[in-house]
């Protein structure tokens, strides 16, 4: 099959070695540790958690930092390659091998009776498996095997949108996309638009939606990776429409928050463009102000609920933006190796930590009283395990992906 020609991309000025991605690694490392604390505190620091969460939602802090970093990196990766096919190869070999390993271990532990997976109700094993294979399960009415997998559904949606914009040559409009999404989020809350969780699944059925979405996603990726310009545009547009349908209308988070998540990722892209001379810092700053104002306003207007406190969400969101901003300001400085090392293994930290927690909860049980010592001990055991999974799962699979991408890279 003929290799698809490279699509012209906006010039990207390479970063100097001293300023490469160390600050992004540091941000990811910090975010990963905060997410681990968020989940492990259920087991070891429940009392402290109950006091902290209404004031500072640690989960939202961590994932918003991750989303900002993804927005900064992912579109640049596609544009640097200039080829959708090699972009998808890179993403598949980056995300799926460790995901598959962790899911396999969890299923084995469930069979052994020392960890429990979530209840999927009336859904068949086949539909659950297909939904998870797309990584869109959280947007297809299927509970995630591991709670942390829900964010990967939004990551995958972002990939589809990035490819869509690239194939129709609108990838340079990141700031405008971020602003539109943020304004729509604020407008939906102001207008009182509220949809039930997984609204589309309730309307058409979870099974049919999974079948349709998985086929559409497969067609979108294959066509966007094809040699034909017409097929590339069709595939990109199909993937973009799929993402823009699932995120607002079939998410498990409120409509406004799903739109804010996408806006935040495109804000990260807008910052990258300003940093690399593809846009102006004035535009990036205006985008940041708009996204932050709309996000904070949406959360405030949404109000408090049984599982949501606006103060905790707003504080977490603002601190996430400040963390990203502080990292950006320090991009020319030397970053401590410990922080960059944490960023390198952050994906392992993020995916792996729920597995030992599930084992502890199913065997020993959660602590009745706070135990900071056990919390620290959990981190001390987890991080070396993540070093091993990075070395023996992540790193080799990424190397395989790079070799395959070089083979199919257009001349």
Within its chain, how far is the Cα of 183 from the centroid? 21
What lies within 8 Å, CB to CB, of 142 at 6+ separation is 120, 123, 127, 128, 131, 132, 206, 210
Q: What percent of the chain has pLDDT over 70?
A: 95
Give yes or no for a contact between 213 and 136, defined as CB atoms under 8 angstroms apart.
yes
Within its chain, how far is the Cα of 199 from the centroid? 22
Give yes or no for a contact between 316 and 57, defined as CB atoms under 8 angstroms apart.
yes
Whether pLDDT at 74 is above 90: yes
Q: Stretch 163-182: mean pLDDT, rounded?
A: 96
Give yes or no for a contact between 137 and 153, defined as CB atoms under 8 angstroms apart.
yes
pLDDT classification of 411: cutoffs 50, 70, 90 = low
CB count, 10 Å around CB of 141?
25
Give yes or no for a contact between 68 and 385, defined as CB atoms under 8 angstroms apart.
no
Residues 307-332: tens digit of each pLDDT: 889 999 999 999 999 999 999 999 88
pLDDT classification of 34: cutoffs 50, 70, 90 = very high
Q: Round the average pLDDT of the chain to a whole number and report it.
A: 92
Listed range (98-102, 121-125, 143-147) with the worst mean pLDDT = 121-125
Torsion of CA 78, 83, 89, 94, to 10 degrees: -20
Q: What percent of the chain has pLDDT over 90?
A: 83
Q: How far apart, in Å, are the Cα atoms of 261 and each of 212, 290, 291?
A: 24, 14, 10
Whether pLDDT at 5 is above 50: no
What's the pLDDT score for residue 122? 83
Helix (H, G, I), strand (E, B) or coil at 332: coil
DSSP string, 13-73: PPPPGGGSSHHHHHHHHHHHHHHHHHHHHHHH-HHHHHHHTTT--HHHHHHHHHHHHHHHH
Q: Stretch 38-44: mean pLDDT, rounded?
A: 96
Whether pLDDT at 2 is above 80: no
What's the pLDDT score for residue 20? 59
Return the higher-pLDDT residue of 2 and 354: 354
Return the higher-pLDDT residue of 274 and 333: 274
What's the pLDDT score for residue 17? 40
Return the higher-pLDDT residue of 8 and 212: 212
Whether pLDDT at 18 is above 60: no
What's the pLDDT score for residue 12? 42
Listed range (154-163, 306-315, 369-378) with the worst mean pLDDT = 306-315
CB count, 10 Å around CB of 169?
14
């Amino acid at each position: 099959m003929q290799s698809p020609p490279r699509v012209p991309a906006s010039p990207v000025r390479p970063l100097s070695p001293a300023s490469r991605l160390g600050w992004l690694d540091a941000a990811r490392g910090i975010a990963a540790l905060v997410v681990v604390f968020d989940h492990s505190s259920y087991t070891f620091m429940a009392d402290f958690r109950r006091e902290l969460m209404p004031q500072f939602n640690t989960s939202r802090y961590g994932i918003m930092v991750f989303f900002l970093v993804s927005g900064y990196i992912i579109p640049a990766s596609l544009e640097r390659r200039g080829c959708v096919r090699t972009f998808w190869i890179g993403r598949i070999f980056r995300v799926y091998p460790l995901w598959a390993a962790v899911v396999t271990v969890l299923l084995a532990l469930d069979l052994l009776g020392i960890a429990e997976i979530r209840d999927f109700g009336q859904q068949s094993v086949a539909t659950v498996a297909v939904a998870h294979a797309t990584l869109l399960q959280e947007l297809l009415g299927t509970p995630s095997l591991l709670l942390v997998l829900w964010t990967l559904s939004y990551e995958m949606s972002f990939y589809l949108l990035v490819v869509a914009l690239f194939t129709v040559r609108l990838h340079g409009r990141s700031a405008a996309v971020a602003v539109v999404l943020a304004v729509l989020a604020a407008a939906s809350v102001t207008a009182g638009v509220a949809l039930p969780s997984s609204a589309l699944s309730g309307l058409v059925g979870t099974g049919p939606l999974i079948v349709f979405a998985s086929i559409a996603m497969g067609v979108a990726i294959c066509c966007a990776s094809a040699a034909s310009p017409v097929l590339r545009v069709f595939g990109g547009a199909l993937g973009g429409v799929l993402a823009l349908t699932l995120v607002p209308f079939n998410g498990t988070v409120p409509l406004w928050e799903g739109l804010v998540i996408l806006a935040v990722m495109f804000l990260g892209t807008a910052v990258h463009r300003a940093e690399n001379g593809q846009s102006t810092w004035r535009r990036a700053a205006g985008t940041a102000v708009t996204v932050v104002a709309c996000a904070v306003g949406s959360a405030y207007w949404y109000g408090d609920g049984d599982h949501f406190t606006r103060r905790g969400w707003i504080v977490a969101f603002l601190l996430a933006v400040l963390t990203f901003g502080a990292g950006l300001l320090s991009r020319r400085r030397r970053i401590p190796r410990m922080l960059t090392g944490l960023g390198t293994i952050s994906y392992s930290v993020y995916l792996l930590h729920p597995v030992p927690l599930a084992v502890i909860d199913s065997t020993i049980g959660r602590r009745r009283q706070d135990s900071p010592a056990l919390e620290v001990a959990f981190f001390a055991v987890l991080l070396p395990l993540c070093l091993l999974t990075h070395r023996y799962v992540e790193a080799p699979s990424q190397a395989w992906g790079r070799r395959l991408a070089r083979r199919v890279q257009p001349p």
